[in-house]
């Protein structure tokens, strides 16, 4: 019987297989950041262990880093101590680190792909649930806890139970104005936050094949929000073109050998998935969340649902609690929801294509009075590219704040946070209670919807903008 | 890791689904670089409400958390497990756990037990009606017992063996060092390296 993409990559990494035991998997790339690594390094130190494969390990600073005044000492002493701990650990153990201020610094899931380290058919782990992002290249990539970080540092392997496989086939073509973010939010709403639990998802079908690498990363990134540790997309010419000539991509004969291998990484025609889901791309429209988990989403044209309409008692209770927390009432049209903050950035939507699409909407327009808009590039490289294209000027001319790279308001570990009761339209990945700041309320949206919302001050898509943008050049 | 064999204790019934790890331990607590001292951060936002179940006097000293479906979703932060353990929880019962949280819990000796929702409902009803009611989580027999409730649960034999013996994963893996070295020797040359270019 044929094998799925996930099974092929899995099988190629089995170091040891024994009856009654989890498989021992080899890890090709281990990404580190400051939040989930300190206790792992401590564990190594206590046991007198070293990092087994420094040449497969790389660290960056992202969660705590400020997006303003990065040349000054970090104001929060606890954040500063955590970053200093990473620097000390990397120096002591010999791990390559891109700290704040370095040209390769940025959100770990933006940095790996842009360096060309994330490659098809590799296993990628990080102490971060959004490691699923790297599956866009046909890598088997998943988030791990700190105990596993220590395990990978010490052994370059992980004992793992073989996951089940799920195919999500997206037929047809995404309509104009509908993005990868809308698609993944619609998928999560359909299968639920636990729908992918125990599975590796493979996204496939004509609508997926047409997507750019940036869009594929947005999709795979939020697999975890559907409960799946990993999401994958089979590598193709789009993938190879993205990787060619990147700093760590193979060269010469190695490139040819790699591409020959990468071409084998497709699910066989006779392979069988444990579960299959079908989505018709043509039926989709801009999608936003109204609640406090990423599965609580609806088309922008819909209204806030009535909790009484849920048959399942636990879903009904969850909806009631969500409306209470979000300060919304049943029946309220989503387009009438006012926001005071707009955040464009994160490992979900902080890449160059995301900034371009937000800027295209903002070009010649202004952010509405009373709305604060933060644009936080996913990495220093993304920021430099945006500046080269003049996108920073589009944002600042519109009245948005152009910031330095990092995780920023996605989770508010740095000073970029919502105040209690504030409401955001955010291109990030989680709308949990308090995620962007204590008492803050989050609506997850695409970069286009974020930009249009910034202009109107209410949840909106670019199609809702009836004004004529000013044609001033930048 | 601390071994887990059998535990009996009072319960905290938490009637919520999708309890994400941001609720279990908010992000600002993640700046700590130790594995302890997270108890005050556990469910920090919800504990501001004096009526929240964890704040009730009759729930003090309880050690078994009985939660709704999809417990531990979201971030991979192992701090969520440490916070539950630092607070005093020994076991969590739910009809479904998020994968990463589940893996983290079992690596730290916090037993996460999957039971059918109707059994979870029965445990909620029992412990809400009688806060002194005790729940026994028996890993040896893979069974949960309480007044009027006897339910078997599944846990793969390997994970059970590691928990019962409190075994450290890294030392188990390093017994197979020769296999790792052999795999490394046959890896293709085109695989990525983080060495500076």
For A87-127, write each residue's pLDDT tens digit: 999 999 999 999 999 999 999 999 999 999 999 999 999 99
Digit-coded pLDDT (tens) for A32-41? 999 999 999 9
Q: How far is CA A292 from CA A184, A255, A424, A443, B165, in A?
A: 16, 45, 13, 9, 39
- In this structure, the answer to whether residues A70 and A171 fall within a common structural domain is yes
Domain boundaries, chain B: 6-185
Q: What is the residue range of A75's domain?
A: 5-275
Q: A361 and A453 share a domain?
A: yes
Q: Helices A213-221 and A352-362: crossing angle, nearest 10°? A: 100
Q: What is the pLDDT of residue A472?
A: 52
Give the chain B residue whose CA is nearest to the CA of A19: B158
Last residue of one domain, picked from the residues A245, A275, A305: A275
Asked whether residue A356 falls in the same domain as residue A433, the answer is yes
pLDDT at B76: 96
Spell B135-157 as b/e; 16+ CB within 10 A means b: bbbbbeeeebbbeebebebebee
In a domain, residue A33? The reply is yes
- Would you say residue A421 lies in a domain? yes
- Encode pLDDT of A197-255 as tens digits: 999 999 999 999 999 999 999 999 999 999 999 999 999 999 999 999 999 999 999 99
- Does residue A366 lie within any of the structural domains? yes
The answer to whether the CB atoms of A119 and B196 lie below 8 A apart is no
Pick among A434, A438, A441 to test the B interface (most B CBs inside 10 A): A434
**Residues of chain B with C-beta less than 8 angstroms from the C-beta of A291:** none
Which pLDDT tens digit goes with each residue over B69-128? 999 999 999 999 999 999 999 999 999 999 999 999 999 999 999 999 999 999 999 999
Domain count, chain A: 2
A398 CA to chain B: closest CA distance, Å?
A: 31
**Which residues in chain A are contacts of B193 at CB distance < 8 A?**
55-56, 248
Chain B residue with CA closest to A435: the answer is: B22
- Residues A76, A105: one domain? yes
The mean pLDDT of A17-27, rounded to a whole number, is 96
**Could you give the CA distance from residue B111 to residue B124 in angstroms, rounded to a whole number?**
18
Residue A258: per-residue pLDDT: 98
Query: Do A319 and A268 have their domain in common?
Result: no
Give the one of A42, A82, A151 whose C-beta lies nearest to B169's C-beta. Answer: A151
Beta carbons of A56 and B193 less than 8 Å apart: yes
CATH architecture of residue range(s) B6-185? Alpha-Beta Barrel (3.20)
CATH number (domain holding residue A221): 3.30.499.10
Contact A197 B15 (CB under 8 A): no
How many alpha carbons fall within 13 Å on the CB side of residue A157?
30
Could you tell me which chain B residue has the CA closest to the CA of A126? B76
Last residue of a domain, one of A275, A307, A330: A275
Q: What is the pLDDT of residue A468?
A: 86
pLDDT value of position A474: 43
Whether the predicted pLDDT of A473 surpasses 70: no
Tell me: do A151 and A30 sit in the same domain: yes
Residues A89 and A222 occupy one common structural domain: yes
- Is A310 found in the same domain as A191? no
How far apart are the CA of B134 and the nearest CA of chain A, in angstroms? 25
């Amino acid at each position: 019987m044929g094998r799925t993409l996930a099974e092929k990559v899995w099988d190629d990494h089995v170091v040891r297989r024994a009856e009654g035991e989890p498989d021992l998997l080899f890890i090709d790339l281990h990404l580190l950041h400051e939040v989930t690594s300190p206790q792992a390094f401590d564990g190594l130190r206590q046991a007198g262990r070293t990092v087994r494969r420094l040449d497969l390990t790389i660290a960056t600073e992202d969660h705590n880093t400020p997006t303003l005044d990065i040349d000054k000492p970090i104001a929060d002493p606890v954040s500063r101590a955590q970053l200093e701990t990473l620097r000390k650990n990397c120096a002591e153990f010999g791990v390559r680190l891109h700290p704040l201020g370095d040209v390769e610094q940025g959100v770990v899931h933006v940095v790996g792909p842009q360096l060309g380290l994330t490659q098809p058919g590799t296993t990628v782990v990080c102490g971060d649930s959004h490691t699923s992002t790297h599956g866009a290249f046909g890598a088997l990539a998943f988030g791990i806890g700190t105990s596993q970080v220590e395990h990978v540092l010490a052994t370059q392997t992980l004992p793992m139970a073989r996951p089940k496989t799920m195919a999500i086939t997206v037929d047809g073509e995404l309509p104009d104005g509908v993005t990868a973010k809308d698609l993944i939010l619609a998928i999560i709403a359909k299968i639920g936050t636990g729908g992918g639990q125990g599975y590796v998802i493979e996204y496939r079908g004509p609508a997926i094949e047409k997507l750019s690498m940036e869009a594929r990363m947005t999709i795979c990134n939020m697999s975890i929000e559907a409960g799946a540790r990993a999401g994958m997309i089979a590598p193709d010419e789009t993938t190879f073109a993205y990787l060619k000539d990147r700093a760590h991509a193979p060269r010469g004969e190695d490139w040819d050998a790699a591409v020959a291998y990468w071409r084998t990484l497709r699910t066989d025609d006779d392979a069988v998935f444990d579960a299959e889901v079908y989505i018709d791309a043509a039926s989709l429209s801009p999608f936003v969340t109204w609640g406090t988990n990423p599965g609580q989403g609806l088309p922008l044209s819909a209204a806030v649902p009535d909790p009484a309409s849920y048959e399942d008692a636990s879903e009904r209770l969850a909806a009631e609690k969500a409306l209470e927390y979000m300060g919304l009432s049943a029946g309220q049209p989503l387009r009438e929801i006012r926001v005071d903050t707009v955040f464009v950035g994160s490992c979900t939507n902080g890449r160059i294509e995301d900034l371009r699409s937000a800027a295209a909407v903002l070009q010649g327009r202004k952010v509405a009075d009373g709305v604060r808009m933060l644009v936080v590039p996913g990495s220093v490289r993304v920021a430099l590219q945006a500046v080269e294209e003049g996108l920073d000027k589009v944002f600042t001319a519109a009245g948005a704040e152009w910031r330095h790279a990092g995780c920023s308001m996605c989770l508010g570990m740095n000073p970029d946070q919502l105040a209690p009761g504030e409401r955001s339209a955010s291109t990030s990945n989680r709308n949990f209670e308090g995620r962007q700041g204590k008492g803050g309320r989050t609506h997850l949206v695409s970069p286009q919807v974020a930009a249009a919302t910034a202009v109107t001050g209410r949840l909106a898509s670019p199609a809702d903008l009836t004004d004529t943008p000013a044609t001033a050049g930048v | 890791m601390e071994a887990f064999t059998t535990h009996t204790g009072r319960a905290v019934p938490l009637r919520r689904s999708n309890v994400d790890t941001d609720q279990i331990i908010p992000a600002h607590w993640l700046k700590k670089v130790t594995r302890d001292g997270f108890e005050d951060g556990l469910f920090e936002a919800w504990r501001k409400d004096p009526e929240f179940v964890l704040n009730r006097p009759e729930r003090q000293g309880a050690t078994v958390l009985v939660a709704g479906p999809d417990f531990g979703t979201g971030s991979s932060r192992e701090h969520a497990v440490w916070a539950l353990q630092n607070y005093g929880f020994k076991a969590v019962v739910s009809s479904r756990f998020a994968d990463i949280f589940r893996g983290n819990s079992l690596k730290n000796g916090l037993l996460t037990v999957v039971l059918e929702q109707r059994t979870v409902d029965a445990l909620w009803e029992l412990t809400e009606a009688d806060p002194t009611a005790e729940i026994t989580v028996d890993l040896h027999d893979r069974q949960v017992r309480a007044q009027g409730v006897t339910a078997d649960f599944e846990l793969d034999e390997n994970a059970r063996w590691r928990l019962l013996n409190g075994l450290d994963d890294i030392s188990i893996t390093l017994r197979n060092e020769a296999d790792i070295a052999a795999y490394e020797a046959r890896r293709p040359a085109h695989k990525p390296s983080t060495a500076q270019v």
